[in-house]
Amino acid sequence: MRLGCVLLALLMTGCSRTADEEQCKKLVDKLVDLLAESSSESHVDKVKKDVKNDKRSAVISKETCVGKISRSQYECMMAAKSVEQFTACEK
């Protein structure tokens, strides 16, 4: 499942002032939306819904995002218009 692997890889970053649980949920939603927009698959809407509602996404978010994503990274990721822009925020 490409989407899940990318989600895990992109959320595994850390820095100073950090994102809270609600912000991390928004980051997961944003990333899923960006990944879906870059896909040409016909079942994108179902995949988006499934990933966003999957309890494993929440666990991954808590383990790799909450307390680990800096405020500046969060703002950069939320402003991203593509997966490439989103991932560039990790630096």
Question: Is 54 or 78 the better-scoring residue by pLDDT?
Answer: 78
Region 37-45: mean pLDDT is 72
Alpha carbon of 81 to those of 33, 37, 84, 85: distances in Å?
10, 10, 8, 6
Each residue's pLDDT tens digit, 65-82: 888 889 999 999 999 999
Q: What is the pLDDT of residues 2-23, one digit of tens each?
A: 555 455 555 544 444 888 989 9
Average pLDDT over residues 34-39: 79
Mean predicted lDDT score pLDDT of the chain = 78
Q: How far apart are CA 3 and CA 72, in angstroms?
A: 24
The residue ranges of every structural domain in the chain are: 2-88
Per the listing, tokens 């939603």 go with: 29
SS3 of 69, please? coil
